[in-house]
Structure formats: structure tokens, C-alpha cells
Amino acid sequence: MTNLLRLKERLEIAVELGESYYREFKSGYEGPPTDKKPRNFKDICYNVAKELVAFANADGGELFIGIEDNNEVTGLPHNDEKLSAILEASTNNVLKDTPLPIKRKNIIDYNGKKVIYFSVDKGAKFIHQTSKGECFKREDRDSVPTSADTIRFVRDEISSRQYDKQFEELATVTDLDLKLVKYVGEECTKIKNMSPEKFLQYVELAEFDGDRLRLRKAALLLFAKNLNKWHPRSRVRILRVHGTEEKSAPDYNVTEVADISGNIFNLAKDSWDALRPALSETRYSKDGLFKTQVIYPEPACREALINAITHRDYSLEGRGIEIRIFTDRLEVLSPGKLLSKLTIEDLKELKGAHETRNTYLARVLREFGYIRELGEGIRRMFELMKRNELVDPDISSPNKSFIVTLYYKFIYTREEKLWLDHFSNFNLNREQKTVVKLGINGRLVSPKEIFDNVGIIDTDKYRKLVESLDVLGILKREVSSAQAQRLAKKQKVSKKSIGRYKMVLPDLVNDELKNTQGKDESDYAKVFVGGVDWKATEDDLYRELLRFGEISEIVIPKNSFTGKSRGFALVEFEHELSAKQAINSDEPVYINGRKLYFQKFKH
């Protein structure tokens, strides 16, 4: 079968992508660079047990022995007897009472070098331990010691955890939207012209049994042309409740906004397109005009929607996701009770606690870029609501469901309320108020503060917001673009962090203050940079990427548990052309021996 993903190709894809939450490399050598020697094979056997136990206690993954941290394939210099012992470490070095759900273990001959490959599934029956009785779990790109109690789950969760990995024996590849599979495959692997069949095997959504390609339910949930044939409730229903409580007949006060169904990629797009217009409303203002105001921060609502689609219990086939828009709040209900490892308190404390019942779905959505790091969705919702001066979301899990509620309630200090009262005649919307509040008592406001506090992603939206306040005459630019650049270099911060705008009290607004220089000339463009070594710093990236153009900001997200890099960075160039040059450049960029790869930042 020409579309069978072979082990050599799997290795090449892994080397291209580098280490991740689902992928680990281990060397067959030890010692200084100039005097490398074969590692003790017993140490390697222990590494095999430790890493595979950690993967099985998390969401599964793959382990390559014979590849360096910098993605170089150096192989294993050991004899056949020791190679066999390393291969069997997945059994012999693991506690016999907690056997691993190994999917594959092979010795790969790659250009004359021996590499041992393991693939392990997520455990469902046991909390796995090494033969020494040690328990590990995968956290981002590390395998960390973990108490068995922290990863124990109750038996009634097994069916929901197993649902997306089950095979649908009646389904064939022709039941999938192959154009969508191909597009997602190329985005995830960065390999052009990868066949849909090979990609499905690479992300474990399909297996070749020697006769045909067997599809998991996850493949259908993600890519089916007609998902209703395989799952009756992969849908999002959006309802508007006229009031603060839902009533029954004869006072029924609910109207349907939309009812969307389909595979997950189409469901996410179409349901967001339907929900987004419902997040704003048109009100009659004091100046006799109808004005549209955004009620909830869009990024927070999108996080709630994507979180529900990703983590709902698909084994509950009789119910879909329901979104209710009340006059004072928005509720997103997804089928499936909160998993036993998690508590409402953990989520509200914003520790980044995470657990997904849909291992295969989450992996594809994460590598595609649809979701951020696991556990970030809830935390980001809280941050966005806080930035917009709204009360914290409410989280609950009643009756085999999980509900996130976003309230339309503002929080201002007494001083902030008095400051904003000065601008009451302008009928400012929430986003404008957020910017005005930042400039309380004449403090200068930076572009970064506007982006972060309003929750803006799109540069055009930022520019329109600044211009709207400029037109009203209540925003004045105190620092020019050139001055901001000089100050940024002097203070060793990003230009975007320099305070530039001042709010003008209404009684001081006049023709002189209504200048035409309130616009920001920058056309900021953000780029996702993968393959970042965990030791790399913002300065390292700045020096290497300055070749493409002026850089506004660099962020390397860190693991809150280890403090290490998550393996990627977000780089914001001052101009969109610079971002395009980085993405399209044929010249490779290396930091600490690791090749970086660039792609357009997906919101």
C-alpha cells in the first residue's frame, strides 16, 4: 500500500517537528562533545521505562532512542544483545502489575544507524509505574515524578476516555473530507503533499491492519463528510433567552439563534460565525444614534466554545453543546462531568491544571494550533474577563455536564468610576472605556497595554479603536513612533511597551487637541516560532531574527511547573512584510543547534 506510513518516514517527521508533549528523544551516547562514549545500556533501559510510564499516565506519546536533543540522528552504538534488552525494557523495567499499552516497538535502520522507536497509548486501566515502583507523568516536554493519587480516575470515566480511540469498523477513508485531512496534515507536519492516509496514521487516527486502513472514532469526529451518520449530536445549539431566567409555557422566552452540526473543524468555524454577531447589541445612545456595543470579549467567548468542543464527552451521544445568551450572562454547556482528577477549585485557582478525555482529538487540534497548551483555555478566559473589567467566569459541573458562565458585570474601583464619569457624555463602549481607564489621571498608555487589556488580537481592530478615541478628541499622542523606538532601545524593552497615548479630560478637548496623529503607523504581525531550545532566551531570538526586520516583541511561554521553555515562541515584528519574510525564507535559522520553523500565528 503506497500510502502506508513507514517507520523511516515517521522518524523523519519526528526529527522535523522536534520534541513535544507527545514526543521525546534520548541519546545513545554520553560524555563531552569531543569524547562521546556509548551510554550504559541499563541507564537507557531505565529511561525507556520512565518516559513510557510518563506518556501512558498522561495522553500517550512516542519515544525515540538514538536521537539527540538537537534533533540529530546519532543512533545506538550497542551490540544486538543490548539493543534487544533496550527494546524489551518497555516490559522488563515496568512494574508487572501495571503493564504498558504499547502500540509499537521497533528497531529502525536509518542511514546505517540503529534507532529504537516506541509508541505507547494513554493508559485506561492502570496508574503505570516503573519496576522500581516510581510513578511519572508527562508535563509539557518533561516527565516528572507524580503521586499515583493525583492521576487516579474513577471507573465510570473509562468509557468516555476510550471513546475517541475506538475503531469504527464500518467506516472507510472515503467517509472523510480528504481535502480537509490533507490541509490539516500539511499544517501539522509542515510537509507538503503528505497523503491523507499517512497523516492519519502519523497522528494515530488510523491503523493499517495488513488489509485496510481502520479509522478511529476521532478521525470521523474531526474529518467526516457526514458526521450525523456516525455521531447524532456533534452539534452546537445557540439560544437567546429574553431575560435573566428561562421560563416555560405560556411565558416561554427562548428563541433559537442557530443549530450547527458537522465535523469538529467545520463545527468550530460555523458555530463561531453564528455566535459572534450575538455577542454585541445595538443600543440607542444619548446623542440620538444607534450604536453597536460588544457585550463580552470575543477571545474569551471563543476560548469557551473551543474548550467545550475539544473536551466534551462524545460518548454521551444524546446531547450536544448548548450556548444560552441571557441579558446578563452567557452560558456554555458541554456534555460530560468534570474529570475526577480535576476540581472546580483547581480550575479557579488558575494553576493550568489540565486533563483531557479526548486524547486523539486534543492532539490534532493542539498540533494544528486550534488550541493552546492544554489547560490554558480556562486560565485565558479568566485573564480576558479581568482585563475587560468584568467579573470572573463561573465554573460548575452539575448532572454530567460542564458549564462556563461569562457575566456582563463590570468591576471598577471608586477612583476609576469617578475618572470614567468624566467621559459619560461620549457614550463610550466597553473597549473604549478600558483604554480610557488605563489613562487614569494622565498616565501614558502603551500599545501593548491596549492589546492586552482589551483582549485584541487583530491589528486593524486596535488601530480603529485608537482612531475612534482620537476622533472624539479624548486621546492625544504624546510620544511619536521615532521617540518610542529610542526609548525602547534605551530601556531595553519592546517598542510596543512604551507609553505613547494620553487621555484628555472632556473640558480640555478643543480643536488643538483633536490632532490627526493618533494613528500608529506600525502594521504589527505576529509569527509562531517552533523548535525553540529550552535554554534559548529572548535575546538569542532577537539577534537571530533581526535579519528579517524590526522586532516589536518576543515572548517565550514557560512551563509554570519547571520554569523551562515550552518549545516555541511568539515573535511580533513591527511590519507585516518582515513576518512574511521570516515565514517564506529559504535560509534556515538555528539556535543552540536546533532549527527553528516559522508559521503564521493562528488566533
Q: Is the pLDDT of residue 427 over 60?
A: yes
Spell out the residues 6+ positions from residue 131 whose beta carbon is closer than 8 angstroms to its own. Answer: 49, 92, 93, 94, 95, 96
Can you identify the CATH homologous superfamily of domain 7-152?
A: Schlafen, AAA domain (3.30.950.30)
Task: Give the model's pLDDT for residue 511.
Answer: 46
Q: Is the pLDDT of residue 524 over 60?
A: yes
- Point out which residues pair with 114 in neighbouring strands: 109
pLDDT by residue (tens digit) across 371-405? Answer: 765 457 788 888 888 777 678 899 998 888 999 99
Can you identify the CATH homologous superfamily of domain 525-600?
A: RRM (RNA recognition motif) domain (3.30.70.330)
d(CA 465, CA 467): 5
Q: Which residue has the higher pLDDT, 237 or 327?
A: 237
Task: Give the model's pLDDT for residue 284.
Answer: 46
**603 — pLDDT class (breaks 50, 70, 90):** low
Q: Read off the pLDDT of each residue in 456-477 and give the average, rounded to a whole number.
A: 84
Task: Give the model's pLDDT for residue 238.
Answer: 96
d(CA 254, CA 258): 12
Rounded CA Rg of the chain:
27
Q: Is the pLDDT of residue 412 over 50?
A: yes
| Three cell numbers written together for 171 | 467506516
What is the dihedral sign for C-alpha 226, 231, 236, 237? positive
Minimum mean pLDDT range among 279-288, 460-469, 473-482: 279-288
Share of the chain above pLDDT 90, in %: 42
Q: Is the pLDDT of residue 291 over 60?
A: no
CB atoms within 10 A of CB 465: 20
pLDDT by residue (tens digit) across 438-453? Answer: 999 889 999 889 888 8
Residue whose C-alpha cell is 552504538: 77
Residue whose C-alpha cell is 456595543: 293
**155 — pLDDT class (breaks 50, 70, 90):** very low
| Three cell numbers written together for 103 | 502500540
**Could you tell me the CA-to-CA distances from 93 to 52, 56, 130, 137 in Å, in that order?**
10, 14, 6, 16
Report the relative pairing of strands 280-284 and 329-335 from DSSP bridges: unpaired
Task: Name the nearest CA neighbour of 362 among 118, 24, 61.
Answer: 61
Q: Which residue has the higher pLDDT, 289 or 108?
A: 108
3-class DSSP state of 336: coil
- The length of the chain in residues reads 603
Task: Name the nearest CA neighbour of 82 among 25, 120, 28.
Answer: 28
d(CA 214, CA 230): 15
d(CA 418, CA 420): 6
d(CA 322, CA 436): 35
Q: Is the pLDDT of residue 141 over 90?
A: no
- Report yes or no: 303 and 337 within 8 Å, Cβ to Cβ: no
Task: Name the nearest CA neighbour of 232 among 123, 332, 345, 318.
Answer: 318
Residue whose C-alpha cell is 460548575: 396
Q: Is the pLDDT of residue 515 over 50?
A: no
Q: Is the pLDDT of residue 520 over 70?
A: no
Domain boundaries, the chain: 7-152, 153-410, 414-508, 525-600
Task: Give the model's pLDDT for residue 512.
Answer: 42
With b meaning 16 or more CB within 10 Å and e meaning fewer, what string describes 60-96?
bbbbbbbbbbbbebebbbbeeebbebbbebbeebbbe
Most confident of 111-115, 144-148, 349-353, 584-588: 111-115
> Quick one: angle between helices 459-472 and 430-438, nearest 10?
80
Share of the chain above pLDDT 70, in %: 88
- Point out which residues pair with 293 in neighbouring strands: 281
- Report yes or no: 469 and 427 within 8 Å, Cβ to Cβ: no
Q: Read off the pLDDT of each residue in 397-421 and give the average, rounded to a whole number.
A: 83
Q: Which residue has the higher pLDDT, 282 or 90?
A: 90
Q: Is the pLDDT of residue 4 over 80?
A: no
Minimum mean pLDDT range among 287-291, 295-299, 348-352, 530-534: 287-291
**28 — pLDDT class (breaks 50, 70, 90):** very high
**Could you tell me the CA-to-CA distances from 425 to 283, 285, 287, 390 in Å, in that order?**
15, 10, 9, 22
CATH number of 414-508: 1.10.10
H helix count then E strand count, the chain: 20, 26
Q: Is the pLDDT of residue 288 over 50?
A: no
Task: Give the model's pLDDT for residue 334.
Answer: 95
Q: Is the pLDDT of residue 113 over 90?
A: yes
pTM: 0.52
**411 — pLDDT class (breaks 50, 70, 90):** low
**570 — pLDDT class (breaks 50, 70, 90):** confident
What is the dihedral sign for C-alpha 63, 69, 71, 75? negative
pLDDT by residue (tens digit) across 187-243? Answer: 888 888 889 999 999 999 999 877 889 999 999 999 999 999 999 999 999 999 999
- Report yes or no: 426 and 468 within 8 Å, Cβ to Cβ: no
Pick the CATH number of 153-410 from 3.40.50.300, 3.30.565.60, 1.10.10.10, 2.60.40.420: 3.30.565.60
**521 — pLDDT class (breaks 50, 70, 90):** low
Under DSSP, the state recorded for 558 is B
- Average pLDDT over the chain, rounded to an integer: 85
Q: Read off the pLDDT of each residue in 575-601 and give the average, rounded to a whole number.
A: 89
Task: Give the model's pLDDT for residue 296.
Answer: 80
3-class DSSP state of 525: strand
Residue 111, Cβ density class (10 Å: 0-12 exposed, 13-18 middle, ≥19 buried)? exposed
Under DSSP, the state recorded for 50 is H
